[in-house]
Amino acid sequence: MVAAAARLVEHRAQIARTCFIVLAGVALMTLAAKIQVPFWPVPMTLHTLAVMAFTVYFGPRIAVSIFLAYLVAGALGFPVFSGSPERGIGLAYMVGPTGGYLAGYLIASWLVGWLASGKRLLGRLAAMLIGISVVYAFGVAWLALYIPAAQLLAVGVLPFLLGDLVKIVVVAVGFGLLPAPLREASQ
């Protein structure tokens, strides 16, 4: 009986911990989407950095939970996305030109977390490069509904590619620089 009660307490503590991580992740994701870093050729947000950091550190289950909760908050009208509320909120924003990138980040949250699990620097880098390719594929496919095909790369990929590559390297190297107990506590 005591062992069952101890397991129940441990299970509830784990649920509370996961809920806290997801809520904190949504707050950090929102902050990352709002921060504008001067960069060339366009200012960059830290959105990609947050998505990739969550996937590498927490793995696919929690990373997807964070991003799904973030999308739900956005769908409910909370101004969590980059450029919101100025460029719209809620579902109207989500089906706009950047909707495909949001869907791509959701898929990448699972894929990168799965591919990067237990990998060293090069494995994490490869996983994140695959993930950002998925983000761009979904983003450009959706963006094609809004702009001519001839402009897709110039508008939907090239201005962001260098910044995203920098953020991926920062996450990959940063995770490797964490003290061993923190790296081992991830996922």
Average pLDDT over residues 89-108: 94
Instruction: Tell me the percentage of the chain whose pLDDT exceeds 70.
Output: 94
User: pLDDT class for 10, splitting at 50, 70, 90?
Assistant: confident
Please count the other Cβ atoms lying within 10 Å of the Cβ belonging to residue 181. Answer: 7
> How is the chain split into domains, by residue range?
2-185
Question: With a threshold of 0.85, does the pTM exceed it?
Answer: yes
User: pLDDT class for 9, splitting at 50, 70, 90?
Assistant: confident
Is the pLDDT at 136 greater than 90? The verdict is: yes
Of the CA atoms within 13 Å of residue 13, those in its CB half-sphere come to 6
Is the pLDDT at 151 greater than 80? The verdict is: yes
User: How far is the C-alpha of 2 from the C-alpha of 13, rounded, in Å?
Assistant: 16
Average pLDDT over residues 56-85: 95
Question: What pLDDT is recorded for position 134?
Answer: 98
Average pLDDT over residues 51-64: 95
What angle, 0 to 180 degrees and rounded to 10, lies between the N-to-C axes of helices 47-58 and 99-116?
30
C-alpha distances out from residue 13 to 7, 22, 73, 107, Å: 10, 14, 24, 28
One-letter amino acid at 39 equals F
DSSP per residue, 129-173: HHHHHHHHHHHHHHHTTTS-GGGHHHHHTHHHHHHHHHHHHHHHH
Residues of the chain by 3-state class (helix, strand, coil), percent to 5? 75, 0, 25
User: How far is the C-alpha of 101 from the C-alpha of 159, rounded, in Å?
Assistant: 14
33 sits in the region (left: phi over 0; alpha: psi -120 to 50; else beta) called alpha
Question: What pLDDT is recorded for position 79?
Answer: 95
User: pLDDT class for 122, splitting at 50, 70, 90?
Assistant: very high
Instruction: Tell me the percentage of the chain whose pLDDT exceeds 90.
Output: 75
Is the pLDDT at 41 greater than 90? The verdict is: no
Q: Which of 1.10.1660.10, 1.20.1300.10, 1.10.1760.20, 3.40.50.300 would CATH assign to domain 2-185?
A: 1.10.1760.20
What angle, 0 to 180 degrees and rounded to 10, lies between the N-to-C axes of helices 2-34 and 47-58?
160
Q: What is the pLDDT of residues 163-177, one digit of tens each?
A: 999 999 999 999 888
Convert 77-113 to b/e letters by CB count within 10 Å (16 or more is b).
Answer: ebbbbbbbeeebbbeebbebbbbbbbbbbbbbbbbbb
